[in-house]
Amino acid sequence: MLREVPVVPYWIPGLFHALAFLDPAEFLLKLQRRFKSDAPVQLRAGPIRLFFYRNVEDIKAVFRASKRTTNKSTTLFALRNLFDLPKSAVQFYLDDNSGMGQRPRKGSNVAPENRINYLIALNVKTYLSSHYLEDLDQRYMTALLHHLDSFNITDEWLNPNFVDDLLVFQQYIPDFLHLLPSWLMPRAFRVRKRLLQNVKQWHQHAHRHYDCSRLAPEDPNWEPYFGSKLMRARENYSLKTTEMTPDARATEDLGLIFVATTNIVTSMFWFIYEALKDRDLLSRLNEEISDCTSSNGTDPEIKKLTIQPLLQSTYAEVLRLYVAIAASRVAEYNDINVAGYVIPKDSYMVIYSRSSALDHAAWARAGRTLIKPLEEFDAERFLVDQDWVRPSLAGFRKPGHTPARDPDSPQPKKRFTVEGLLGLWYPYGGGDRICPGRHYAKHQMVLSFATIFSKFDLELIGSEASKAAPNMRYAPFGALPPVGKIPFRIKKKAAI
């Protein structure tokens, strides 16, 4: 029998919990602490109903329900309010009721070229995987090395200044998504307008020099105008619809560029910062990097580098502690059953990654020994012994003889795994809507870290630098930048 989800008590009828959503991250954490049970609870913001899932198994059920739900409305909210998607294009997205499957939903009459939500997801998934991903990795590494070599950094210690313009738009993410008007933040709107204009100019320049329909296997994965084949594919299908105007296409690509860089840069900061705080960790990470690097200290083996256990575990821990997302799904087409609860049509299901990331009892049940509290950074949190099996499979493990280990032999190297952590670790979301760029993002972080530390020595400056804290104002919108500025110094590595 399906159960009804109880409504959290509220003070103001009609508004319900709307005012609490002015700080959604804190509100969701308060709910996590307030209710002893981890059963879902129902929230209201005016006419909108939201169902907050907290239990690990329930979160898995939400992800499994991806084929019966969409995240269209939340994506459109960001595109419209953060990136200024034209209203005509918003309606175009809303009119697409064909679903996200290869075959349109039964009853949908949307033309194949107008399946905008499916086409966006399909092309990003296609061109950020397999041999396209390998090509992007190599090009990213080549470009990164070129830029690092061109920086005016000598073998003397420097205190670099950040280019503020690169961070201006990011600073205003919470304000845009809280719907602040332009008269309260004119600088933010000017910056966004300039960014959109630059993207449109790029599109115009690229079209003058290259045919975006060249997407055959024999056509290049990369050319100097559109760049990746992904960008050509996006332009190609967008040009087939009148609703995807130059303004709409600029919004789409600004959104892609933004999410592909902002979260990476912020997460990279924490990756570097945590290594600088712990010199032993940095030394061990450098050992893994050295194992994947040629004798002259350059040209790392990309595939080998991205599967090193400690590098992967440090990367995963950065995302666990310093990324806070509220993933949502909408029962767009009809009432559905999720984890035994009835979810009415047009209702939202919400899960909050930081609630799960800090759930001590759930991590213990997943078989993870908490050497450090979840509120602290532990670079080895995702490392397990070679014979570790997650608790849910322990009873199915075949009995066998484990040979005695020579006490004088070195400890076996631990392995990296996120096995058993679905519903606890989901910085990229989950289910059919999981971020298709997650592999490229991981490779960017690991390759950048390895390259930077192969060329430069870095140090934090002052005792206060080791006390950096994430700025929760940016939750639950993605990676959390630090509060304030973190002083450090940098110099080129001495030649050996």
Instruction: Select the more confidently predicted residue: 161 or 277.
Output: 277
User: Which domains, ranges and CATH numbers included, belong to the chain?
Assistant: 18-394+416-492 (1.10.630.10)
Distance CA 380, CA 284 (A): 11
What are the tens digits of pLDDT across the range 293-345?
A: 876 555 678 999 999 999 999 999 999 999 999 999 999 999 999 999 999 99
Quick check: 401 pLDDT over 50?
no
CB half-sphere exposure, 155, CA atoms < 13 A:
4
Distance CA 112, CA 104 (A): 9
Supply the pLDDT for residue 218.
96
Phi, psi of 491 (to 5 degrees): -150, 160
Quick check: 373 pLDDT over 60?
yes
What would the DSSP string read from start to end of 361-414?
HHHHHTT---SS-TTS--TTTTEE-TT---HHHHTTPPP---PPPPTTSPPPPP
Percent of all residues in the chain with a pLDDT value above 90, rounded to a whole number: 75
Neighbours of 413 (CB within 10 A): 10
Supply the pLDDT for residue 161.
35
Q: What is the mean pLDDT of residues 457-468?
A: 90
Quick check: 164 pLDDT over 70?
no
Among the ranges given (32-46, 52-66, 312-326), the one the predictor scored with the smallest mean pLDDT: 32-46
Among the ranges given (163-177, 193-207, 258-272), the one the predictor scored with the smallest mean pLDDT: 163-177
Among the ranges given (23-37, 45-59, 431-445), the one the predictor scored with the smallest mean pLDDT: 23-37
Percent of all residues in the chain with a pLDDT value above 70, rounded to a whole number: 92
Quick check: 165 pLDDT over 50?
no
What are the tens digits of pLDDT across the range 205-231?
A: 999 999 999 999 999 999 999 999 999
Q: Tell me the pLDDT band of 482, cut-offs 50, 70 and 90.
A: very high
Quick check: 463 pLDDT over 90?
no
DSSP-assigned beta bridge partners for residue 348: 50, 330
Distance CA 21, CA 44 (A): 10
Which of 257-266, 296-305, 356-365 shows the highest mean pLDDT?
356-365
Read off the tokens for 241: 């619809």
Residue 51: strand, helix, or coil: strand
Q: What is the mean pLDDT of residues 228-250?
A: 96
Supply the pLDDT for residue 399.
46
Supply the pLDDT for residue 167.
67
Distance CA 59, CA 185 (A): 37
Q: What is the mean pLDDT of residues 78-85?
A: 95
Supply the pLDDT for residue 298.
59
Q: Tell me the pLDDT band of 261, cut-offs 50, 70 and 90.
A: confident
Supply the pLDDT for residue 197.
87
Query: Considering the entire predicted model, what is its pTM?
Result: 0.92
Distance CA 380, CA 275 (A): 12
Instruction: Select the more confidently predicted residue: 22 or 252.
Output: 252
Quick check: 89 pLDDT over 70?
yes
Quick check: 68 pLDDT over 60?
yes
Supply the pLDDT for residue 156.
66
What are the tens digits of pLDDT across the range 175-197?
A: 999 999 999 999 999 988 888 98
Q: What is the mean pLDDT of residues 58-73?
A: 92
The mean pLDDT of the chain is: 90
Read off the tokens for 346: 């047009």
Supply the pLDDT for residue 374.
97
Distance CA 412, CA 410 (A): 6
Supply the pLDDT for residue 395.
53
